[in-house]
Amino acid sequence: MLIKKLPPLQSFQLLVSRPASHLARQQYDVIVVGGGHAGTEAAAAAARVGAETLLVTQKIHTIGALSCNPSLGGVGKGQLVKEVDALDGLCGRAGDWAGIHFSILNRRKGPAVWGPRAQLDRQRYREFIQSELLGTPRLTVLEGSVEELLVTEPNPEKPGHHRVTGIRLANGNHSISASSVVLTTGTFLSGSLFMGQTTSPGGRIGDAPSSAGLSHTLRERLGLRIGRLRTGTPPRIVKDSVDLSQAKLHPPDRHPTPFSFLNKNTRCKPEDQLPCYLTFTTPGVERVVRESLHLNCHIQQDTKGPRYCPSIESRVLRFPGRRHQVWLEPEGVTSDLLYPQGLSMTMPPDVQLRLIREIPAMHRAEIRTPGYGVQYDFVCPTQLSPALQVKSTQGLFLAGQINGTTGYEEAAAQGLWAGVNAARWALSMSPVILSRTESYIGVLIDDLVTRGVTEPYRMFTSRAEFRTALRPDNADLRLTLKGRYKVGCVSSLRYQETVRVKDNLQEVLEALQTLVLSTPSWRKKIVVSLKLGLCSKFLCAFFLSGMDVLQYNDVSFEMLASVFPECLSPYMEFSQRLKIEAVYRPLCDLQKKDIERIQKEENMSLPLDIDYFSLPVSLSQEVREILDRVRPSTLGAATRLEGITPAAIAHLLNYARHTGQKERRMHRNQLCARNASLPQ
Amino acid sequence: MLTSVCRGILRGAVHKLRTRGAPLARLLCSNEEDIVGLGDADTIFALSSGQGRCGVAVVRVSGPASPTALRCMAGLTHSLPPPRTALLRSITDPQSKEVLDRGLVLWFPAPHSFTGEDSVEFHIHGGLAVTTAVLQALGNMSGMRPAEAGEFTRRAFQAGKLDLTEVEGLGDLIHAETEAQRRQALRQMSGELGRLYQDWSHRLKRCLAHVEAFIDFSEDELIEDGVLNQVDKAVVDLQTEMERHLKDERRGELLRSGVQVVIAGATNAGKSSLLNTLCQRPAAIVSPIAGTTRDVVETALDIGGFPVHLSDTAGLRESPDLVEREGVRRARERMEQADLTLVVVDSALLPCDAEQGAAFLQGHLRSVLSNQEQPETALPADKCLLVLNKSDLLPEDGRQKLTGELRRVSGLPPICLISCHSNEGLQDFLTVLHSRVKTLCGNPLSGAPTLTQARHRAHLQQCKAALAQYHRYRDTDLALAAEGVRLALTSLGRITGRVGAEEILDIIFKDFCIGK
C-alpha cells in the first residue's frame, strides 16, 4: 500500500477560521483542548470511535508542531509509536510521511528491544497531521483559547464529585457544551519560560501563554493535586555555520523501515535520506557551565527535573570530567537548521553561543533561536482512572505532559487512549482499559495511575515486565483486532489488513509445525550446522519441526522456503516476523501463566469510591491509608502497590467478588440516568 | 497431531539412544537445569502437620505432578492406589533409591481433594530427620516446589472448595501463615546466610541494571562496551558461588527449631530471673544492677512436651553505652523474629488503681517495647504475654484484685502475676505458657525450618538456572539474556524481598549519565 496523497491545506484553513459563534453546532460529544501530540491523537481517536468532536487550539498553524526534537521513536518509544499505529492513530503514518532518516536502534540486541526511530522534517509532519485531521469525519477544529472548564456543582451525595459540561472560550465569552473534555495542555498549564535570569509566562517560545482560568478550575474548583515539573530545549544552530567535517557522520539505515503497519515504504526514498552527525563536549563546555551558573535561574530552581539529565548543565554537574555526546540532527529537507540533541540549556543567549563554540565542530556556529527551559503544572496522575478520566470529575480526561510524562510518543499514546474513552463516555459506552500484559500503552498508563510520577515519566523497555511478548513487530496482532471490536477505534481498512496478516501467519506457522524431519535430514537439506548455541528444551530433540529449526541462529525463513518452495514461498513477506516468532514463542509460552494471573486480577475492578476506612474487612490502618491514597481501580493494580500484603489482597478479592456485580449494575443505571438528563 | 506422534517416536528414540550410549545422546539429552525453574513449577508440597514431638508427620502434595511423586516415592510403578485409601509403603528417595521411611500414602484424584487438584498425602514418622529427607526428596523432583504461605488454601479457594465462612477467614489465615513464614525466614536470614543472600541480590540488581542500561540507552548515550563484559564476569561468579553453596552439605548454619519465645522488658524487671526460674538453673547472671544482661542468652526448653527456644534479652532502654546499645538492638531483633514475647514488668511500678494500671501497661507496651523507628507500632496482643514480676512486693490483699481487674480490660495481652523470688503464681503462668506453645506448635507453618530451607533451595536453584539463560542468549539476543537475569532476580527476590523496576532504574541513573 502506498502512502496516500495529502489533500490541499487551504481548504483546511478556510474551514476552521470562522468565529466560534459560527460553528455548525454549539454542542459536541467530545472537546479536545490542545493540538499537540496528545491532542491530535485524542481528537482523531474520539472521532474514529464515533463522537462529534471539537479540537480547540490556540493556533491552527501549530497543530502537529514538533516543539522540541525533530525525531520520533527510539527504544521503548518506538514500541509506543507502533502501538498507536496499530490502534489506527496518526503518529506512525505521520512519521513515515515526514521521516528523512530512518534507523532501527538496538538492531543487534534482539527484536523485542528494537527501537524504530526516524528524524523528521518538521514541516512535513505538521502538514500530515493537519491534513489527516481535516480528512477525519465528525471532527471540527477551532482556533481559540479556553478560559474556563465548565463543571457541575459537586454532587451532594458524593462531595467533591463533579461532572464536566463544556468549556468557555476566552474571546467573546462563548460557551460550548460537551459530554467529555480532554485536556492536553502540555507545558502551557501555568507554564513559565526560563532563559538566563529572565522568566516569562508561556509554554513554548513564540506562543501566547494560556489563560490562568483553566489552572484555577483544576486546582480550586476540582481540588486536584497539582505538581510542578521542568524541561528544556536546546538552541537551534545554523547548519552552514557548522564544520561538519569535524563531526562523525552517522548514516541512516540503507532500507528505511516504516513505522506504520499499513505502509510498505516511507515517503522519503532510501537514497534521499539525510545523515546525522555525532560530536562530543569538551572540558571548555564544562567550564562555561560552571562560570555561568549564577546567570542561570532554571538550573538553580529546585523544581523536580528528571534523574536522567535533561540539560547540558545537569549532565556536566552530575557527571563532571567526562565527555558527553552531542548529536547534530537535520530539521528537515529544506531547513537550514541543525538540532543539537544533548545540548538543552537555559543560560543567557550570549553564554549559549560561547558554550557551543567550545565544541570543535561548532567553533564558528551561529544560533538561530536560543535554548530555554520550561516549568509547568501537572496533575498528579494517581487521580486518574486507567481510562485517563479524572476520578472525581466525570467526563474530564487528561493526556500528555499534563499527566507528568515527557516525550511525543508518551503523549500520543495517552492522547489516543483518552480520546477513545472520552468518546465512549460521551456515547454511553463502558470504559476500555489496556493491560500492561498486552501493551506498552498499558504499562505507561498503569504506571502513571497507580504509582504516580516524581519526575517527567519516560518510557523504557525495562518498565515492561513482559517485554519479550510486547514487541514492535507484533503490535498489530496484539492491538488491532481488539481495537476494532472492543474499542471501536480501528478503520475497516486496517482491520482487514491485520486479519490478512494474521491468517497468513497462522497458515504458515501451521505449515512449519507440520514439517517434521530428523536432525540429520535438516542438516543435509539446509546445509547449516544447527549449532546447539540456542538451546531450549524443544531443540534437544531428534526430530525437529520447521518451527524448531527456525529458532537456530544460522537458519532463516528464506532458507526453509528454498527447501520447501511449494508450501512456504507464498509467505516470503513475513520472513522476518516468522523468524522472530520462532525464537520468542517458546519463551512467551512460559510467561503465559503469569500473564493470565495478572489479567485475571486486572479484570476484578474495585469501585473508585470505596471508603477504605470503613470497609468491613480486616485491613490494617496502614494498608487502608495506602489504598485510600491511591484508589487502585483493579485488584491487579492493588497488588502492585508497595506495602500491600497478600492478606490484604485476599480480603479485597472477597470484597470485589461480593460487590462486583452490584457495582456493575449501579454503574449501568447511573449511565442511563445521566443520558436521560442530557439536553437533546 | 503429527507433532504428538513425533514426540512419541522421539521418546522411544531417546530411550534407545540413552541405553546404547550413542554419540548423539549428547544432542538429545536435555540439560536438566534448563528445564527446572523455567517450566511452570506448578506442583507444591508442604509439611501439613505441626512441628514438635508428634508421632506422625503429614506431607501434602498438590498439583499435576503429584501422581508422579506418589509413583516415584512409594515405588508404585504400575498403578496408583485406589482413591482415598491408605496404603502402607516404603518411601524412597527417587534419586538415591534410599529408603527414607515406611509410612502411609493416600491418593486423592481431582476434584475430590482439599485443593480440587490431584493430591497426595504421605503420613510418615514425625522425626526431624525423616521429614527433612522426604521434603528434600520432593524438592529435588522436577516440577515440584515448596508451597508459599497460604497456597494450599488459595488453591482450594480458587477451585471453589471453601464455603463462605472459610473464605472470609482466608485473608486472616494467609496473614497468619505469611507472618509465621516471615518470622521463620527472618530467623534463617539473620546472620551469615542472610548476608550472603543479600549480597547476591545486590550484585544481581547491578547486573540487571547494567544490561538494561545497555539495552535502553546505549544507542543514544555513551555507555562503554565494557559494561557487558563486567556483567558476564559477575554472572559467572554468581553462578559459581551459588553452585558451591547448593552443594555444601553442611548447610552452613544450625537451624533454630522449636517455638521461639523471647523474654523482653525494661531493665531490672527480672527477665533473667524468669529465664533461670524457667530452666531451673542459673543460666543467666542476675544482679540488682540495671543493664546486667547485655547479650542474648539462649536456652532450649521442653514445655509440656513441646520444644521451646527461650531467649533472654538486654533490658530495653536508651543507653549511651555502646555495648548496651548493641544488646538492645539485638533484643529488638529477637522480638521481631519471635513467635511469642514474654513482656516482663516490675509490678511494684504499677499504680494500684486498675484503670491507671491498665493505662500504664498499655503505655509501657508502646513506649518501651516498640521499635524506635516506628514508635507507634505496639506488639500485637496475640503475640505476647504480660508477666507482672515481683508480686511479693505487692500487698497480699491487692494482688488478686489487681490481676482480676486488669484481665477485664480489653486490648491488653493475657496477664500473669508471678514472683520469681517466691515462685508464687508460677504454676498458673506455666499453664498459660503451655497452652500458648501448644497452639503455636499446632500451626503447621509456624516454624518448620526444614520447609523454609527447602524453599530457599528451590529458589536458589531456579536462580542459578535462569542465569544460564543469560549466557545462552548473551550474543544473539540481549533482551532474552536480560530476561534470564530478571528471572534470576525474581527467584532470589522470593528469599530476600521483591525488586521493582524502579529500583533498577535508580541504579541505572546513578551509574550512567543518561540524556534525553
A310 CB neighbours in chain B (<8 A) are 515-516
Of A257-271, A311-325, A441-455, B426-440, minimum mean pLDDT range = B426-440
Instruction: Identify whether the C-beta of residue A344 lies closer than 8 Å to the C-beta of residue B516.
Output: yes
- What's the rounded mean pLDDT across residues A439-464? 92
CB contact under 8 Å between B216 and A533, yes or no, is: no
Of A379-383, A549-553, B22-26, minimum mean pLDDT range = B22-26
d(CA A672, CA A667): 9
Is cis: bond before B307, omega within 30 of 0? Answer: no
pLDDT above 60 (res A571): yes
Instruction: Identify whether the C-beta of residue B214 lies closer than 8 Å to the C-beta of residue B227.
Output: yes
d(CA A328, CA A325): 10
CB contact under 8 Å between A110 and B175, yes or no, is: no
CA distance B92 to chain A (A): 28
> pLDDT tens digits for B64-81?
889 989 998 988 877 888
d(CA B288, CA B269): 10
B164 touches chain A (CB under 8 A): no
pLDDT above 60 (res A10): no
CA A95 to chain centre: 14
Q: Note the pLDDT of residue B379.
A: 64
User: Which one of B26, B489, B516 would you mutate to disrupt binding with A, by most A Cβ within 10 Å of its Cβ?
Assistant: B516
pLDDT confidence band for B369 (50 / 70 / 90): low
User: Which one of B170, B182, B477, B503 would you mutate to disrupt binding with A, by most A Cβ within 10 Å of its Cβ?
Assistant: B477
ipTM of the complex: 0.81
- What's the rounded mean pLDDT across residues B199-222? 86
Of A194-203, A277-286, B138-147, minimum mean pLDDT range = B138-147
Of A42-51, A315-324, B497-506, minimum mean pLDDT range = B497-506
Element (H, E) at B384: strand B384-389
Other CB atoms within 10 Å distance of the CB of residue A225:
13
- What's the rounded mean pLDDT across residues A382-409? 95
pLDDT confidence band for B182 (50 / 70 / 90): low
User: Which one of B31, B214, B215 would you mutate to disrupt binding with A, by most A Cβ within 10 Å of its Cβ?
Assistant: B215
Q: What is the pTM for the complete model shown? A: 0.74
CA distance A230 to chain B (A): 13
* Domain positions in chain A: 236-373, 511-591, 604-675
B468 touches chain A (CB under 8 A): no
d(CA B489, CA B501): 11
d(CA A167, CA B180): 57
pLDDT confidence band for B251 (50 / 70 / 90): very low
* B188 or B481, which is more confident: B481
Chain B residue with minimum CA distance to A641: B500
d(CA B483, CA B22): 34
CA nearest to A389, candidates A623, A631, A159, A199 = A631
Query: Considering CB atoms only, which of A74, A516, A654 is closest to B3?
Result: A516
pLDDT above 70 (res A532): no
CB contact under 8 Å between B9 and A543, yes or no, is: yes
B217 CB neighbours in chain A (<8 A) are 75
pLDDT above 60 (res B21): no
Query: Considering CB atoms only, which of B175, B212, B515 is closest to A342?
Result: B515
pLDDT above 60 (res B5): no
pLDDT above 60 (res B6): no
CA distance B2 to chain A (A): 7
d(CA B191, CA A329): 56
CB contact under 8 Å between A645 and B215, yes or no, is: no
Element (H, E) at B432: helix B426-442
> pLDDT tens digits for A57-70?
999 999 999 999 99
Helix, strand or coil for residue B57?
strand
DSSP string of A378-405, one letter each residue: EE-GGGB-TTSBBTTEETEEE-GGGGTB
CB contact under 8 Å between B479 and A534, yes or no, is: no
> pLDDT tens digits for B94-149?
888 888 888 999 999 988 888 888 999 999 887 777 887 888 888 888 888 888 76
CB contact under 8 Å between B212 and A462, yes or no, is: yes
Sheet strands (E) in A39-152: 53-57, 71-73, 99-105, 115-120, 139-143, 146-151
Helix, strand or coil for residue A100?
strand
Q: Note the pLDDT of residue A27.
A: 92
Cα Rg, chain B, nearest whole Å: 28
CB contact under 8 Å between A647 and B174, yes or no, is: yes
| Overall fold of domain B256-441 | Rossmann fold (3.40.50)
DSSP H helices, B117-163, are 128-140, 151-158
**In this prediction, what percent of chain B has a pLDDT beyond 70?**
72
Q: Note the pLDDT of residue B445.
A: 47
pLDDT above 50 (res B25): no
Other CB atoms within 10 Å distance of the CB of residue B82:
8
Chain A residue with minimum CA distance to B13: A542
CA distance A558 to chain B (A): 19
> pLDDT tens digits for B456-493?
777 888 899 899 989 988 888 999 999 999 989 988 88
* A527 or A224, which is more confident: A224
Mean pLDDT of chain B: 75
Query: Considering CB atoms only, which of B154, B472, B477 is closest to A535?
Result: B472
CA distance A43 to chain B (A): 28
For residue B96, give every residue at least 6 positions away whose Cβ sits within 8 Å of its Cβ, in sequence order, or none.
Answer: none
User: Which one of A104, A113, A531, A652 would you mutate to disrupt binding with B, by most B Cβ within 10 Å of its Cβ?
Assistant: A113
B421 touches chain A (CB under 8 A): no
Query: Considering CB atoms only, which of B150, B220, B509 is closest to A307?
Result: B509
Of A401-415, B37-51, B492-506, minimum mean pLDDT range = B37-51
pLDDT above 70 (res B173): no
Of A63-77, A547-561, A569-583, B300-314, minimum mean pLDDT range = B300-314
Q: Note the pLDDT of residue B51.
A: 56
Query: Which class in CATH covers the domain with range A604-675?
Result: mainly alpha
B398 touches chain A (CB under 8 A): no
Taking the alpha carbons of A403, A407, A410, A412 in that order, is the dihedral positive or negative?
positive
DSSP label of A217: I
pLDDT confidence band for B266 (50 / 70 / 90): confident
CA nearest to A307, candidates B431, B513, B488 = B513
> pLDDT tens digits for A219-269?
999 999 999 998 899 999 999 999 999 999 999 999 999 999 999 999 999
pLDDT confidence band for A128 (50 / 70 / 90): very high
CA distance A655 to chain B (A): 10
A532 CB neighbours in chain B (<8 A) are 27
B22 touches chain A (CB under 8 A): no
* Domain positions in chain B: 43-147, 192-248+451-511, 256-441
| Overall fold of domain B192-248+451-511 | Four Helix Bundle (Hemerythrin (Met), subunit A) (1.20.120)
Q: Note the pLDDT of residue A129.
A: 96
Q: Homologous superfamily of B43-147 in CATH? A: Probable tRNA modification gtpase trme; domain 1 (3.30.1360.120)
Q: Note the pLDDT of residue B448.
A: 52
Question: Cell triple for residue A36?
Answer: 499537540
Element (H, E) at B401: helix B396-408
Residue tagged 486498675 (cell numbers): B354
pLDDT above 80 (res A270): yes
d(CA B244, CA B116): 39
Helix, strand or coil for residue B75?
coil
For residue A328, give every residue at least 6 positions away whose Cβ sits within 8 Å of its Cβ, in sequence order, or none.
Answer: A237, A242, A244, A247, A276, A277, A278, A279, A338, A339, A340, A341, A361
Between the CA of residue B101 and those of B15, B89, B91, B105, B452, what are the distances in Å? Answer: 31, 9, 5, 11, 22
CA distance B123 to chain A (A): 30
Instruction: Identify whether the C-beta of residue B41 lies closer than 8 Å to the C-beta of residue B442.
Output: no
A111 CB neighbours in chain B (<8 A) are 477, 479
CB contact under 8 Å between B216 and A465, yes or no, is: no
B217 touches chain A (CB under 8 A): yes
Query: Considering CB atoms only, which of A324, A514, A532 is closest to B513?
Result: A324
Instruction: Identify whether the C-beta of residue B480 lies closer than 8 Å to the C-beta of residue A110.
Output: yes
Instruction: Identify whether the C-beta of residue B333 lies closer than 8 Å to the C-beta of residue B286.
Output: no
B501 touches chain A (CB under 8 A): yes
CA distance A157 to chain B (A): 30
A415: left (phi over 0), alpha (psi -120 to 50) or beta: alpha
Q: How far apart are the first and last CA of chain A?
A: 42
B509 touches chain A (CB under 8 A): yes
pLDDT above 90 (res A675): no
Give phi and psi for B389, each to the nearest 5: -90, 170
Of A301-315, A554-568, B39-53, minimum mean pLDDT range = B39-53
CB contact under 8 Å between A642 and B500, yes or no, is: yes
CB contact under 8 Å between B513 and A309, yes or no, is: yes
Instruction: Identify whether the C-beta of residue B300 lies closer than 8 Å to the C-beta of residue B259.
Output: no
Mean pLDDT of chain A: 87
CA nearest to B339, candidates B305, B379, B295, B293 = B379
pLDDT above 80 (res A618): no
CB contact under 8 Å between B515 and A341, yes or no, is: yes
Q: Note the pLDDT of residue B256.
A: 52
Element (H, E) at B100: strand B99-108
DSSP H helices, A292-380, are 297-300, 312-318, 349-356
CB contact under 8 Å between B3 and A590, yes or no, is: no
Query: Which class in CATH covers the domain with range A236-373?
Result: mainly beta
pLDDT above 60 (res B338): yes
Chain B residue with minimum CA distance to A541: B28
d(CA A374, CA A380): 18
- What's the rounded mean pLDDT across residues B350-378? 71
CB contact under 8 Å between A113 and B29, yes or no, is: no
Helix, strand or coil for residue B454?
helix
Other CB atoms within 10 Å distance of the CB of residue A240:
11
CB contact under 8 Å between A341 and B516, yes or no, is: yes
Chain A residue with minimum CA distance to B39: A590
Half-sphere exposure of A117 (CA within 13 A, CB side): 22
CB contact under 8 Å between B215 and A318, yes or no, is: no
B473 CB neighbours in chain A (<8 A) are 110, 534
pLDDT above 60 (res A16): no
> pLDDT tens digits for B394-408?
887 777 777 777 777
Query: Considering CB atoms only, which of B30, B40, B219 is closest to A540?
Result: B30
Between the CA of residue A599 and those of A83, A434, A435, B494, what are the distances in Å? Answer: 19, 10, 7, 22
Other CB atoms within 10 Å distance of the CB of residue A254:
10
Long-range interactions of A662-668: CB distance < 8 A, separation 24+: A663/A605, A663/A607, A667/A430
A537 CB neighbours in chain B (<8 A) are 30, 34-35
B212 CB neighbours in chain A (<8 A) are 460-462
B206 touches chain A (CB under 8 A): no
Q: Note the pLDDT of residue A20.
A: 60
Torsion, Cα A320 A323 A324 A328, to 10 degrees, reads 150
